[in-house]
Amino acid sequence: MNESSRLLRIVVPIAVGIAFLLLWEGSVRYFGIREFLLPAPTRIAQSLVENFGSLMGSLWITLRITIVAFFLACVGGGGLAVLFSQSRAIEMALFPYAVILQVTPIIAIAPLILIWVGFDHTQLALLILAWIVAFFPILSNTTLGLLSADHNLRDLFRLYGATRWQILTELQLPSATPYMLAGMKISGGLALIGTVVAEFAAGSGTSTGLAWRIVEAGNRLDIPKMFAALLLLSLLGITIFFGLAWVEHSLLKRWHESAIRRER
C-alpha cells in the first residue's frame, strides 16, 4: 500500500464522521428536536464536560473489571487449552461444559451468580460474569492452535527425543500464538460486553460502572448524559480492540502470514 492510499484510509472515515455529526447537529437545530429524544452532539459534549468526574470514575470501574476479567480469561482459557492438548480424556470430559457455559445467555445466568456471590460483593459477581463470556474464544482458538502444529515438525521433535514439555513449549505454544491472539481480540470486546451486561443485571445502587450510569441517566431522562456514557463505552471498546490488534501485529510481524504486507 502506498502513502496516499494509507492517508485516505484515515482521512475518509474521519470526513464521514464529521459530515455525520454536522448533519445531526443541523437536523436537531433545524427541526427543533427535543433534548430527551435526541440531544445534539454539542449538548452531549457539554454533558460530558459537566459530568466528567463521575463519568471518569465509572469508566475506571468498568475498565478495571474488563481488564481483570480479560486477563483471567487469557490465563484460564489458555491454561485449559494446554490441559486439553495434553490429555484427550480431560478434553472429552470438560469441553462440553465449556460449550454449555458459552451458549447459555449471560443475562440468564447473571441473577443466579449475583445471588450466590452476594449483593455485597457485586464486583466479584461482575468479574465472574465477564470472565464466563470472555474465556471461551481463547479456549477454543488456543486448543485449535496447539493441535495445528506441523506434523512433520512434531516427528522431528520426536526423532530428537524431545520431552512432552519441550514439544509444548518449543513447538505447540509458538504454533498456537497466532490462534490465541485472534481469540484474545474477540475476547477483549466480549469482556467489555460481559461487564456491561452484568452491570445492567446487577441493577442500580450496587455498582457504579458506566452501564449503571446509563441506567441512572435514563431513569432521570438525562439523555445527553446517557449518550456521553455510551460514547465512553464505545471509545473503551475501540481502544481495547486496537490495542490488541497492535499487540498481535507486533508479535507476528516477523513471521506470520497474517501480519505480512505484500508488495503488489
Min separation Cβ 147 and another protein, Å: 17
Q: Is 76 in a helix, a strand, or coil?
A: helix
Min separation Cβ 79 and another protein, Å: 21
Q: Which stretch binds another protein (CB under 8 A): 4-12, 56-64, 154-162, 205-213?
A: 154-162
Which residues in 15-44 contact another protein (CB under 8 A)? none
Rank residues 53 and 161 by Cβ distance to another protein and give the closer one: 161
Q: Which stretch binds another protein (CB under 8 A): 25-33, 123-131, 156-164, 179-187?
A: 156-164
Task: Identify the CA nearest to 28 among candidates 42, 14, 16.
Answer: 42
Min separation Cβ 2 and another protein, Å: 22
Binding mask 159-178 for another protein (x = CB under 8 A): xxxx---x---xx--x--x-
Question: Grid coordinates representing 26?
Answer: 443541523
C-alpha 65/C-alpha 193 separation (Å) is 11
For 209, half-sphere exposure in the C-beta direction (CA atoms, 13 angstrom radius) is: 26
> Interhelix angle for 223-252 vs 173-202, to 10°?
170
Question: Grid coordinates representing 28?
Answer: 436537531
The site that binds another protein (CB under 8 A) totals a number of residues, namely 21
Q: Is 1 in a helix, a strand, or coil?
A: coil
Alpha-carbon radius of gyration of the chain: 23
Q: Which residues bind to another protein, rule: CB under 8 A?
A: 150, 152-153, 155-162, 166, 170-171, 174, 177, 254-257, 260
